[in-house]
A and B are shown apart, each in its own frame.
Chain A
């Protein structure tokens, strides 16, 4: 009996702390590590390295970061997006409670690659029903969203373009949300994290 009580107590305690594992994935150079570094700064967590978010180096393999936000203790698996490390992503599907998928708004060329990787994730059994938060990273203010490329301004896609390009409207097995973000200025990160926190706090 005492054993069970202890077990229940523990589990209650655990639900209070709401410790969740979150997977953050996306193609290389989309800004996953920068987003995590900025989120940690915003929550006042300790920075992993003595460098700003502007100077992250390409992740090799993956990094594990922890911070808490809105009463939820996040353990984030920051996966490398380089082609040769992408097969590591699926190793973490089972224990992940949610997925953050980062897309580089400026990389129009590789949107189809992101879609290919996303489709592979969505068809995985281990991720069934888990929430997906999409960051349309490196976003610029809506006044800059334009269907025409200008030679002086690097082309960027709006979150609508990205949602279309990734066929997000066809996702029916997962709750999802797309948020324009900018990891350097920190815009949109709070909004995305709030959506995820609300979802995970339920």
Chain B
């Protein structure tokens, strides 16, 4: 007879969340910023990276577009440049903070470029810095502010301009202006932010007064529409040499892509895109053959090829979170944790499914005997992965969430990866000369196929058994069938008995009553709570049901009998019974739950709850 154990201990699980958070906090505890370089937790025997430097107190919260490195002094020592989210432009020479400038606005991206200045040829020896922030591109030369490029104003709808002019001249009242602008908006005209602000005043008691104040306050100013920069990049102008002049290009909120002249002070060309660019990357040389790929906020990537919008449009499954353009392929990381690689003509090459969300992506190019191109991906599970094509080359655990990454020359080291993390720390990892970037190419069948299965040897016993089975096949089958039938019969008999005795999880339903009982235990002791759930699975309501909870002397039950006045079909009723363990040793015993009949006799259903071991009482009694 099988005992029905309905009780199940539901003690609260140990709090894993806070504990692991604590462990992480311990792992990111600031270490000394001095010479000892390698953090032991990140050192692995086969790691691809050397830990060159880690400054947890650098105070450089920045995303990838705001991290770069450049030979700012022209001495071959490349400075690490970070435009931080707290409006600072910081440069490091080696591991020393070399300069710090305050920015006027929060930067969206920086780029180092060799400006062409015919009046001042000496200025071409060291690169300038372009810092995009708000609606400006600030150009720093020798780390001194040199020029502020203002993004040209947008064209304003003529009808809108007229409306504001008439409002200014007093020809129309703010109410009429509001209606005109509202109509314009409904017709699909692109309104300026001023008009949109006015149209947005639509709630509150003194709506009309606020609208009037806003309209009269702003009307005297000429109507302009500014846009802001969303991303920035550089492209070589004439030749591929490292120190030849570059042109800066940047995308704007209103969906344009501006390419500036190499002086960085005038617009060379403008392209209108269907949506606001989010990421931009380029290959080639501007005056020879080039390609700029723009991943936009509409989840598509557009290509500009040799001063023309190309017909190649790649649509992603999800919003892009990173874009790399390396060699002949375009690599896009998407919000659904997938990295897609496309050819420049828009044909998909492969997809890599990541185990966690993509935080940052960066291309890794190493010029050795032959050029290796890999992809570095920082993931939300604190991993730093390197992919060669679609082969995973290395995985490196980080102790903090990565925010920005930049691979390139830092200091005098060509193959360095500069990282900024969520906590504002800066670290530099260096790829050693001996690093192997060739992923294990897995063409053809998987390696597991060549491993032979562990088939046991044919022993003498096995051979004899087979022989016997072959000779007495019919008898064996009959014996098996007979035993199977008997097992089924016994099971059925036992089930019937359970149903009759009312000891099953649900009552039999002989008298049209079918009640399902579920009992669970909560608590660690000595005080437990027994949750009894009753459900009437029959069709008729059942009245006046006493529920009895009974136990040995180990437990004290203050209120052992509960009365359910009515059980409606289909509803789940909950009864809470407090059980106090009075055993000084904290022993455990079974607790019986009976759902009885009002008229007495056999219970409808009962259950035995196996109680967990109890904790000792706090105060001695």
Binding site for B on A (CB under 8 A): 27-29, 83-84, 86-87, 106-113, 115-117, 120, 147, 149, 151, 154-155, 157, 161-162, 164-165
Contact = CB atoms under 8 A, between A and B. Distances in A.
Given A83-B433, A108-B35, A108-B53, A113 B413 contact: yes
B55 to A, nearest CB: 10
B95 interface: yes
Contacts of B37: 108, 111-112, 165
Given A164-B35, A164-B36, A109 B98 contact: no
B95 A110 contact: no
6 contacts: A83-B415, A109-B411, A111-B35, A155-B94, A164-B35, A165-B35
A27 B53 CA distance: 17
Contacts of B53: 108-109
Nearest to B434: A120
A98 B236 CA distance: 47
A109 B428 CA distance: 8
B368 A107 contact: no
B50 A165 contact: no
A22 B94 CA distance: 31
Nearest to B428: A109
Interface string B18-54: 0000000000000010111110000000000011110
Given A109-B52, A109-B95, A116 B433 contact: yes
Interface residues of B, number: 30
A112 B412 contact: no
Given A108-B94, A161-B36, 7 more contacts: A109-B430, A111-B37, A112-B52, A113-B430, A147-B32, A155-B95, A157-B35
B196 interface: no
Given A109-B52, A109-B410, A109-B411, A116 B434 contact: yes
Nearest to A161: B35
Top-9 shortest CB links A-B? A161-B35, A112-B50, A116-B432, A109-B411, A108-B95, A149-B96, A112-B52, A147-B34, A112-B37
B485 interface: no
Interface of B: 32, 34-38, 50-53, 76, 93-98, 368, 410-416, 428, 430, 432-434
Contacts of B94: 106-109, 154-155
Contacts of A111: 35, 37, 52
B325 to A, nearest CB: 25
A115 B37 CA distance: 11
A165 B434 CA distance: 19
Given A107-B411, A117-B433, A149 B97 contact: yes
A152 to B, nearest CB: 10
B35 A110 contact: no
A162 B95 CA distance: 15
Contacts of A106: 94
Nearest to B369: A84
B35 A28 contact: no
A133 B368 CA distance: 30
B95 A112 contact: no
A150 B527 CA distance: 63
B36 A110 contact: no
A85 to B, nearest CB: 11
A37 B98 CA distance: 32
A161 B32 CA distance: 13
A84 B52 contact: no
Nearest to B76: A29
A117 B428 CA distance: 18
A79 B414 CA distance: 19
A200 B51 CA distance: 36
A149 B95 contact: yes
Nearest to B100: A151
A86 B433 contact: yes
A113 B409 CA distance: 14
Nearest to A109: B411
A86 B413 CA distance: 14
Nearest to A146: B34
Contacts of A151: 96-98
Contacts of B414: 83
Contact of A110 (B32, B51, B52, B76): B52
A38 B507 CA distance: 101
Contacts of A120: 434
Given A109-B53, A109-B94, A109-B95, A29 B38 contact: no
Contacts of B76: 29
A110 B411 contact: yes
A126 to B, nearest CB: 17
Contact of B368 (A84, A116, A157, A164): A84
A116 B47 CA distance: 12
Contacts of A154: 93-94, 96
Which of B32, B93, B413 has the most chain A CB atoms inside 10 A of its CB? Answer: B413
B453 to A, nearest CB: 40
Contacts of A107: 94, 411-412
A110 B96 contact: no
Contact of A112 (B51, B96, B368): B51
A161 B51 CA distance: 16
B51 to A, nearest CB: 6
A116 to B, nearest CB: 4
Contacts of A149: 95-97
A107 B76 CA distance: 13
A26 B429 CA distance: 20
Nearest to A58: B76
